[in-house]
């Protein structure tokens, strides 16, 4: 199984858009052996009461759907790291959301509280059930390969025995490969019998068209197909002298329609997301497996950096930033729900999701006249700067430093690739120019305090490659807010383009009801259950601070 982006790719199978209940849900009475008869009767009475007061939510007609929408009370993103466990994270995400939603609705949780559930325990439990004689026929890859590295959301509904769901404090997630079954406490009979978490899965409904998914989102909540992307760099300008651009070269390929030349160079196997958390529909996409995420909203008017308008807002399980040992495909960024709903500005978003690893967010100080032209694409080019001018360079000014800091834009960059830059230099972005298909030519001020400083332009590179060549200094490596960021945008155009290639993107709406015994607020009614782990795993989601709406400078004469 090959590595893909922030984690390992999940196996080639139908892509899933996991749906999560967003409105009222149906309720059923649950019975559990750990409860006394009195507790069972009390639990049933409460469930019956909820049933009579919480009718199912009807779908809105397509003509009445708002242009944008997102569900409330989405729990913070957690990351799968290098394991192919997106299916477990997506399943746990829907259970966490339904638990939170129902808890708030019934007064058992405050609006900012949520329960963090254990993906580790869930994966180990599903693996145990899928390798048993009773449930093995109901499972997919989990049973065949005896691993959690690639599973299916549907296993929650197909297993005849409910898999164990526990608070995260029981078994925190283990990112290292080979941790499939590691959860020692899962075999502790006392802990499992006294576990208060109990839910019923009434049904799973699948949706395919984006209108149906949007309608379901208003009564319910849901992933996507992953693709390998081939990027095209046209053989024009200085690249015409590159031997690879000779029409007789094996590296010269036919350019996509709309390019100003016939011969293009390609870079294959790149992620189908950009560093702003946006998926892209692309000429030359090839399916590379599936990925499960949580559909939390949509916006028909949001336009991606690649020009696609309208799409889904997804809660993903990939980390933000750069994982250098894994290479460029592991460079990621994400945003908040409010950003993709266009409720806040680009600048306001920087306070929570600065995405400091993204070269597009590095501060560009422009500066001197005479920066090397962006089309001089013959490798790394240096133009020495007169030593008497270096101290007066705009990139080194105090005003520039304040301007960059106020907008959470990294100004000082260090070198992480000796083939492209110098370890003893500090780099400042002069400017950048778009080249070809997603490529950028970046020009830098290469500042060497006790040596010769230069202006430097690099060959055209993809942003993910550039993010592996330079990094913000530690003081400017602004971290995304884990309570707010972690969301991606999936254009409708990508769904349609994938369908034309035979890929299926669908949404699963899981109708889940949690028993009252599952909440610590009801612990006094269920004395035989142990709420220690529930209390330890109940957390508070911090409100997102937003300052602005414009940068505030200190001691700037012009303001």
d(CA 542, CA 316) in angstroms, rounded, equals 19
Residue found under tokens 């599936």: 290
Left, alpha or beta for 277 (phi > 0: left; psi -120 to 50: alpha)? left
d(CA 22, CA 147) in angstroms, rounded, equals 32
CA distances from 468 to 5, 414, 461, 463, 486 (A): 13, 11, 11, 9, 21
The number of angstroms, rounded, from the C-alpha of 414 to the middle of its chain's C-alpha atoms is 26
Q: Are 71 and 487 a contacting pair, CB within 8 Å?
A: no
Strands 286-303 and 224-234, bridge-based pairing:
antiparallel
Q: Are 324 and 257 a contacting pair, CB within 8 Å?
A: no
Q: E strand or H helix at 457, and its extent? A: strand 454-457
Residue found under tokens 């559990």: 32
Other beta carbons less than 10 A from residue 261's beta carbon:
13
Hey, is 9 helix, strand or coil? coil
The two structure tokens encoding residue 500: 């034309």
Q: Which residues contact 473 (CB under 8 A, 6 or more apart)?
A: 410, 412, 413, 414, 426
Burial letters for 364-392: b for 16+ Cβ neighbours within 10 Å, e otherwise? bbebbeebbebeebeeebeeebeeeebee
| Residue pLDDT tens, the chain, 559 long | 222 233 334 433 334 443 333 332 222 222 222 333 444 455 455 444 444 444 445 556 677 889 999 999 999 999 988 888 888 888 899 899 999 999 999 999 999 999 999 999 998 888 887 776 565 566 654 444 445 555 666 667 655 456 679 999 999 999 888 888 888 888 888 888 999 999 988 887 878 788 888 888 865 543 333 333 455 677 877 777 788 888 888 878 777 666 678 788 766 545 678 899 998 876 555 445 567 888 899 999 999 998 999 999 999 998 899 876 665 567 899 999 999 999 998 888 998 999 999 999 999 997 554 455 544 444 577 888 888 889 889 999 999 999 999 989 999 999 999 999 999 999 999 988 888 777 888 999 999 988 899 999 898 888 989 999 999 999 999 999 999 999 999 999 888 877 776 566 777 788 889 999 999 999 999 999 999 999 999 999 987 766 655 554 444 344 3
Cross-strand partners of 488 = 314
CA distances from 543 to 111, 482, 501, 536, 540 (A): 11, 11, 42, 21, 9
Q: Are 389 and 368 a contacting pair, CB within 8 Å?
A: yes
Q: Is the peptide bond before 280 cis (omega within 30 degrees of 0)?
A: no
CA distances from 445 to 183, 382, 398, 414, 450 (A): 51, 10, 16, 12, 15
CA distances from 545 to 70, 178, 349, 482, 548 (A): 19, 39, 10, 13, 10
Q: Which residues contact 283 (CB under 8 A, 6 or more apart)?
A: 230, 232, 256, 257
d(CA 255, CA 277) in angstroms, rounded, equals 27
Strands 381-384 and 413-415, bridge-based pairing:
unpaired
The two structure tokens encoding residue 223: 């992933």
Q: Which residues contact 9 (CB under 8 A, 6 or more apart)?
A: 1, 2, 3, 84, 226, 288, 289, 291
Q: E strand or H helix at 512, and its extent? A: strand 505-514
């Amino acid at each position: 199984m090959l590595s893909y982006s922030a984690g390992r790719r999940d196996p080639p199978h139908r892509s899933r858009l996991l749906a999560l209940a967003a409105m009222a849900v149906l309720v059923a009475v649950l019975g559990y052996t750990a409860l006394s008869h009195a507790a069972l009767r009390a639990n049933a009475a409460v469930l019956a009461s909820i049933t009579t007061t919480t009718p199912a939510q009807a779908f809105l007609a397509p003509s009445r759907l708002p242009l944008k929408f997102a569900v409330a009370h989405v729990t913070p993103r957690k990351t799968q790291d290098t394991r192919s466990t997106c299916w477990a994270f997506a399943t746990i995400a829907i259970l966490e959301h339904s638990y939170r939603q129902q808890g708030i609705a019934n007064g058992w949780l405050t609006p900012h509280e949520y329960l963090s559930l254990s993906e580790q325990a869930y994966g180990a439990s599903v693996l145990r059930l899928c390798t048993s004689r009773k449930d093995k026929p109901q499972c997919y890859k989990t049973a065949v390969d005896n691993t959690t590295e690639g599973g299916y959301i549907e296993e929650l509904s197909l297993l005849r025995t409910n898999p164990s769901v526990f608070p995260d404090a029981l078994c925190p997630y283990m990112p290292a490969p080979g941790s499939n079954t590691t959860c020692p406490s899962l075999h502790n009979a006392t802990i499992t019998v006294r576990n208060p978490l109990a839910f019923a899965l009434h049904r799973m409904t699948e949706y395919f068209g984006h209108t149906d998914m949007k309608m379901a989102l208003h009564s319910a909540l849901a992933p996507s197909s992953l693709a390998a992307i081939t990027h095209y760099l046209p053989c024009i300008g200085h690249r015409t002298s590159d031997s690879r651009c000779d029409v007789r070269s094996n590296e010269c390929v036919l350019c996509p329609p709309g390019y100003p030349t016939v011969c293009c160079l390609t870079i294959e196997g790149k992620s189908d997301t950009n560093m702003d958390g946006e998926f892209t529909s692309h000429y030359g996409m090839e399916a590379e497996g599936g990925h499960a995420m949580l559909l939390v909203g949509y916006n028909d008017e949001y336009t991606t950096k690649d020009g696609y308008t309208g799409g889904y807002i997804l809660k993903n399980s990939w980390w933000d930033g750069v994982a250098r040992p894994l290479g460029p495909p592991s460079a990621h960024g994400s945003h908040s729900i409010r950003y993709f709903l266009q409720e806040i500005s680009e600048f306001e978003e920087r306070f929570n999701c600065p995405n400091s690893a993204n070269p597009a967010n590095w501060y560009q100080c422009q500066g001197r006249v005479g920066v090397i032209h962006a089309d001089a694409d013959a490798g790394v080019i240096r133009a020495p700067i007169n030593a008497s001018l270096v101290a007066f360079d705009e990139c080194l000014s105090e005003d520039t430093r304040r301007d960059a800091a106020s907008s959470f834009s990294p100004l000082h960059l260090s070198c992480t690739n000796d083939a492209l830059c110098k370890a003893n230099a500090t780099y400042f972005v002069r400017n950048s120019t778009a080249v070809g298909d997603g490529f950028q030519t970046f020009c830098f001020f290469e500042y060497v305090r006790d040596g010769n400083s230069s202006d430097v332009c690099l060959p055209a590179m993809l942003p993910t490659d550039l993010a592996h060549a330079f990094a913000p200094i530690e003081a400017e490596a602004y971290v995304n807010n884990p309570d707010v960021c972690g969301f991606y945008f999936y254009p409708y155009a990508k769904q349609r383009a994938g369908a034309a290639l035979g890929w299926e993107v669908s949404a699963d709406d899981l109708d889940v009801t949690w028993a009252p015994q599952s909440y610590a607020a009801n612990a006094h009614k269920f004395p035989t259950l142990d709420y220690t782990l529930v209390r330890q795993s109940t957390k508070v989601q911090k409100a997102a601070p937003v300052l602005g709406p414009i940068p505030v400078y200190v001691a700037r004469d012009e303001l």
